Structure 1
Amino acid sequence: MANLPPSLSMGTPFGGPSTSTQISTGAPANKDRNLASAEQLVLDLSNPELRENALLELSKKRELFQDLAPLLWNSFGTIAALLQEIVSIYSVLAPPNLTPAQSNRVCNSLALLQCVASHSDTRMLFLKAHIPLYLYPFLNTTSKSRPFEYLRLTSLGVIGALVKVDDTEVISFLLSTEIIPLCLRTMEMGSELSKTVATFIVQKILLDDVGMDYICTTAERFFAVGRVLGNMVQSLVEQPSPRLLKHIIRCYLRLSDNPRACAALGSCLPDSLRDGTFSNCLREDQIARRWLQQLVHNVGVGRVPAHQGGGFEHML
């Protein structure tokens, strides 16, 4: 996803063998220097006096360090140091007294955790340690100031990194931790960018069968998601955002795959998605236009008669 920081290179691991081509171009020397630099900066994370600079340097240069995630995870005390940074600002979340400097420092810690969440060797270890739970207080904030918004967005980036890889075990874990209400909160009050990432996370959850079943099992869950999606569509009528709208349409389209949800969408799908309101907004996005056409078609032909008890209304 474009608005998430790109993942690390998954090339030659630390200390891997070099080829004759690399020798001739001087690549091994550069790799050795990067390795030594990364190792020293990771060691500095355990020193409170050196940690702030190490956080800044590692977060800025993390793409230069191949397989940084395993190094972070397997280095003694490193993950504990990152969690210590996160926990240290809980006290300034409510009432909201977070300063830009505090926000930047914690966001650098979160950027390193995103590396761990993105890497195939550390992703499940990251989940089994329940580390995402440490981020949830940031997603539960309501202040719209820049330090809080930056904190929310970076936290969402960590969750987004987890769901980018289609893995039912990841989705099941997130659902067990009530990630949906936290994403819905951000979708209602966050900036355009944080709304987009939060909607992307909900979209990826819906695209997994476990996530789809979770949201469509009860009328309350379905209508909670539907209400927020509908409000977002209404706000986009005044301030269009093609990228955000595309994720919203994909969420609706996936919901229309469920017969009961499709029946309910017949009465709660916003008219602005049916009447061409967003034609100009989606003019350059052929995929989103096709998704919207399919959504309108599904809702039009997929309605289940009320007397058959196919919709959600009888459950409320």
Structure 2
Amino acid sequence: MNMQHSFTSPLSFPRRSLSSPVQSIMSNNATIQPPVSMESRAPAVGGPAPPNMAGGQGGVVGHIDREQIYTWIQELTHPETREQALLELSKKREVVPDLAPLLWHSFGTIAALLQEIVMIYPVINPPNLTAQQSNRVCNALALLQCVASHPETRTPFLSAHIPLFLYPFLHTVSKSRPFEYLRLTSLGVVGALVKTDEQEVINFLLTTEIIPLCLRIMESGSELSKTVATFILQKILLDETGLSYICQTYERFSHVATVLGKMVQGLVKEPSARLLKHVIRCYLRLSDNPRAKEALRQVLPDQLRDSTFSNLLREDNNTKKWLSQLLLNLMSPSDAHTSFVTQ
């Protein structure tokens, strides 16, 4: 059977994420300490928001010096005090519930954060990013992630197309730690957006090249970057518009299925339960589309059909259920009848 037969004529993913000013800046030359813990930079993929985001829990917010917060925000607009202010505010972003509105509505603050991002463009191509530069821009990105996470600031954040400023970082391929931190923190901003399950977020992302960017990181990134990128793809697929978009053409579906297949092969060599969880969830969601389901019957990796990952999934009942449902979805009517008779 020709898998392509059931899909419409191929169309590529959109590639309008880089505006012409960004492209020109990236062609120039110019000259981050790594963040304390990159685990803390990544979104809690699939999990709840950190408990200390809620005002008053454990009394944490009550101990914050509000005047000091205001001072640091004001210092963001001054180049000579900005680096320290970025560091201090990035530490406080999860214990100050209204930090996002404060940042968004303070004069010149978002412009200062964007300036930090734009200043890094010349050193990502060719790749000359230092650990100190990476740390500084990651602190700025952490504050943008805070803005992206807050319900009051998320919509204007999208309306201003601010995520597009991060896409040049997702284009980088250097495997050095400063670049890996930069990609991971940038993914964290997008992850914070999709975690809300809001239609406007999906609609915005589908007009950009976030899907092919995530797919490339899923192929070649670190385990944590792969996990966050796969989580973003999963959230897009879970949206009806996102699933329909990816399954609209054979080329789009094939690109996603090919990368997922390579990830399964990689997980055989380097097991990761949390990454496997999101890969299986993506496959399961694809099987909800009739044309994708027919194609998956032919291309689903054998390792998901046999007991290759049994030990890895032993303690994860949800993922085991997803895998069982996926295999059930992909059974042909004759296979399902045979299975029922032999039970």
Residue identity opposite 2:130 in structure 1: T
The partner residue of 1:164 within 190, 195, 210 is 195
Counterpart secondary structure, 2:314: coil
Q: Against the structure 1 CA distance between its residues 33 and 199, is the aligned structure 2 distance closer, same or farther, given a 3 Å change threshold?
A: closer
- Taking the TM superposition and a 5 Å limit, the aligned residue runs for 1:1-316 are 3-4=42-43, 6=49, 9-11=53-55, 31=62, 34-301=65-332
Aligned-residue offset at 1:63: 2.1
Write the deviation string for residues 155-207 of structure 1: whole angstroms up to 9, x where unpaired: 00000000001111110100101210110011011000000000000000000
Q: Is the 8 A contact 1:34 1:64 kept in 2?
A: no
In the superposition, the TM-score normalised over structure 1's length comes to 0.88
Write the deviation string for residues 114-164 of structure 1: whole angstroms up to 9, x where unpaired: 000000000011000000000000000110110000000000000000000
Aligned-residue offset at 1:9: 2.2
Q: Which consecutive residues of structure 1, in runs of 5 or more, have no partner in the other structure?
A: 13-26, 304-316
Write the deviation string for residues 64-97 of structure 1: whole angstroms up to 9, x where unpaired: 3231000000000000000000000100111110
Q: Within 2, Cα distance between the matches of 1:301 and 1:247? A: 25
Give the structure, 1 or 2, with the largest relative contact order (CA under 8 Å, sep 6 or more).
2
Q: Is the 8 A contact 1:186 1:198 kept in 2?
A: yes
Aligned-residue offset at 1:302: 6.7
Counterpart secondary structure, 1:64: coil
Q: Is the 8 A contact 1:162 1:170 kept in 2?
A: yes
Q: Within 1, Cα distance between the matches of 2:53 and 2:64? A: 17
Write the deviation string for residues 43-76 of structure 1: whole angstroms up to 9, x where unpaired: 0000100000000001012223231000000000
Counterpart secondary structure, 1:50: helix
Count the aligned residue pairs: 289
Q: Within 2, Cα distance between the matches of 1:302 and 1:119? A: 46
Q: Is the 8 A contact 1:262 1:302 kept in 2?
A: no
Q: Within 1, Cα distance between the matches of 2:67 and 2:199? A: 37
Q: Which consecutive residues of structure 2, in runs of 5 or more, have no partner in the other structure?
A: 1-38, 335-343
Q: CA RMSD in A?
A: 2.0
Counterpart secondary structure, 1:49: helix
Write the deviation string for residues 213-250 of structure 1: whole angstroms up to 9, x where unpaired: 10000000000000000000000001110000000000
Q: Within 2, Cα distance between the matches of 1:59 and 1:226? A: 37
Q: Within 2, Cα distance between the matches of 1:174 and 1:33? A: 35
Q: Is the 8 A contact 2:55 2:95 kept in 1?
A: no
Q: Within 2, Cα distance between the matches of 1:137 and 1:257? A: 33
Q: Within 2, Cα distance between the matches of 1:256 and 1:140? A: 29
What is the percentage of aligned positions where both structures have the same residue?
A: 66
Aligned-residue offset at 1:31: 4.0
Counterpart secondary structure, 1:63: coil
Residue identity opposite 1:4 in structure 2: P
Q: Is the 8 A contact 1:246 1:288 kept in 2?
A: yes
